[in-house]
Structure 1
Amino acid sequence: MNDQAAAKAEIFEVVQNWVLWRDTDDWERFATVWHAAGHMSATCFHGPAADFIAASRAGSVGGAQVQRLLGGTTVEVAGDHAIAQTRVSILQRATVDGVEIDVTNVGRFHDFFLRDERGWCIRPCRGVHEKNWVTPVDVTRSPRFDDELLGAYPPGYRYTAYVQTKSGLTVRQGLPGHAGPELDQLYQEGKTWLAGAEDPGPAV
């Protein structure tokens, strides 16, 4: 196996590990996938990886039910820098106004990787939010949505944002979607990262 293939294999394993360790509450090992300056950008979280781990742990203790299903991964490697894009579906069980629902968010993880003395680690993880929808757990009951609140968020993650807002969380605007300037900016920052930039750019 050549160096490029070995690097891609290691990065692929890190991507797989972080999702399984996160979703199975394996917090000690989950912490190992992140660089010391690791950063997470999500709908309702924006900050250092250590804080993301703490928030994830608190959510799990509080009963949050969120799972991530991974699809294909593509990896570009340039020296000690790499970009991994992974298809993901994020599944959340929630109750809105007394109706139990499943929220599905389809998109991609766009991970900026850096190789340090421990190997390949995630520098920032950023999400691309392409589409989402709600399915009632009991098909005979459907939630009634506040159209004004629902319309306040981009199409790619508006149902996720709605549910998170109703649960008291603050949801971020302007995240990358299926297309648009936010996605273009993310791609450009990825190119700059692969060209050797020390900083991955302003997190979106």
Structure 2
Amino acid sequence: MSDSEQLDRVRIAHLILQERVARDTGRWDQMRACYSGDARVDISWFRGSGFDFVDASREAADSGSGSFHKMEPCLVDVRDDRAIVDVGVAIHLRTLMDKVEVLLIGHGRMLFRVERTGSNWLINHLTGIYVMDTLQPAVPGEAVSFDRERLAAYRSSYRYLSYLLEMSGRPVSQDLPGVDRPDSVDAILTANTEWLNQQSEP
């Protein structure tokens, strides 16, 4: 691996961590600066442009929906002016469910497409692969009640997240990439590989 490729990997990994830290700490201008103008985000609760995602994240934070991301080391694959980043993540969310404070942890992988624009690397696309999630009361021993029939209808890879979001009026697509549907994971990995290997337009 050349010195320039090693430097690119470091810069790209820093970009991804900077975007997540900026989101978790409310540094919205820094978060926006991580996305290209034509970036797209496709995750559980949002589908749209990168800049609109920043605005939606700010609105969620202002409404009191607090979350933070615990990130694993980034796996970066670079081809010329494009890169794919795969990073394991645990999303921690504190919210209310029927007036009971609960803690949700969603485990998954975040997949970023990144492009070089001039001398900078910017995020072009963000999606995720969902693995599993857990939910518990913030106060140990406090009772949390569920509609068991509704809960059972959700997929195991993001069951409690689906339940909480629907309860807040934001239904979640049940067609997201998840380990409980390996074909959905293969599809997004294949699409990312094809994108990575495409020749840049002259």
Normalised to the residue count of structure 2, the TM-score between the two structures is 0.94
**Deviation of 1:198 (Å):** 6.4
Show structure 2 runs of 5+ residues with no match: none
- Fraction of identical pairs, as percent: 26
Distance of 2:200 and 2:132 partners within structure 1 = 32
The whole-number CA distance in structure 2 between the counterparts of 1:51 and 1:104 is: 25
Q: Which residue of 2 aligns with 1:84?
A: 85
Deviation readout 1:23-42 (Å, 9 max, x if unpaired): 11101111111111111111
Identify which range, 22-31 or 110-119, moves more after superposition.
110-119
Distance in 1 (CA, whole Å) between partners of 2:45 and 2:163 is: 11
CA deviation map 1:109-130 (0-9, x unaligned): 1101111125111111111110
Partner SS state of residue 191, structure 2: helix
Residues of 1 paired with 2:4 and 2:189: CA distance? 25
Instruction: Give 5+ residue unaligned stretches, structure 1.
Output: 200-204
Task: For 1:9-88, list aligned pairs within 5 A.
Answer: 9-88=10-89
| Residue matched to 2:185 | 183
User: What is the Cα deviation at residue 153 of structure 1?
Assistant: 2.1
1:161 partner letter = S
Which amino acid in 1 is paired with 2:195? W
Normalised by the size of structure 1, how large is the TM-score?
A: 0.93
Give the C-alpha shift of residue 51 in structure 1: 1.0
1: distance between equivalents of 2:14 and 2:104?
27
Instruction: Give the whole-Å Cα distance in 1 for the aligned partners of 2:162 and 2:27.
Output: 26
Q: Distance in 1 between matches of 2:186 and 2:75?
A: 18
- CA distance in structure 1 between the partners assigned to 2:143 and 2:115 by the alignment: 45
SS of residue paired to 2:126: strand
Alignment check: 8 A CA contact 1:81 1:196 kept: no
- Structure 1 residue ranges, 4+ long, deviating more than 6 angstroms after superposition: none
Separation in 1, partners of 2:150, 2:185: 24
Deviates more, 1:50-59 or 1:147-156: 147-156
Task: Please provide the CA RMSD for this pair.
Answer: 1.5
1:101 alignment counterpart = 102
Structure 1 position 197, deviation (Å): 6.0
Structure 1 CA distance for aligned equivalents of residues 131 and 51 of structure 2? 27
1:161-198: CA deviation from partner (whole Å, max 9, x where unpaired): 11111111121221111251110001101110121166
